[in-house]
Amino acid sequence: MAYVIIDGKKVPIQKGQNLMDIEDEISVPFACRSGVCQACAVTMKKGEENCSRLNENEEMMGAEGSHRLGCQVVCCKDGDEVEIELEAGWV
């Protein structure tokens, strides 16, 4: 089990799960769910190495560096020490 930290809240996530799989527990809005609207923009504050890499959809929507699209981010590691800290929006 890994964890997503957002707004001071620590939410469990499993390896292979997308941020949309825990959407009821995180304050990130999702709309198109396919990487073409930016509604789910998030800023990775920590643990980007625990996530899938920036993909083509995200690059086409202007994401770069710590700016990602939550609907495209998949947790790629497992373990109690694995944390992904993020903030809603591109800040």
CA dist., res. 72 & res. 54, Å (int): 8
Q: According to the binding rule CB under 6 A, does residue 77 interact with ligand FES? A: no
The answer to whether residue 39 forms part of the interface with ligand FES (CB under 6 A) is yes
Judged by CB under 6 A, which of 31, 46, 53, 78 binds ligand FES? 31
Pick from 32, 65, 79, 91: which binds ligand FES (CB under 6 A)?
32
**Cβ atoms within 10 A of the Cβ of 9, count?**
11
**For ligand FES, which residue of 38, 43, 52, 55 counts as binding (CB under 6 A)?**
38
Residues in the chain: 91
Does 84 bind ligand FES (CB under 6 A)? Our answer is no
Please give the Cα distance from 8 to 16 (Å, whole number): 23
**In sequence order, what DSSP letters do the residues of 44-72 get, joined into one string?**
EEE-GGGBPPP-HHHHHTT--TTEEEGGG
**Residue 31 beta carbon to ligand FES: minimum distance, rounded to whole angstroms:** 5
**Is 26 an interacting residue with respect to ligand FES (CB under 6 A)?**
no
Report the interface residues with ligand FES, using CB under 6 A: 30-33, 35-40, 69-71
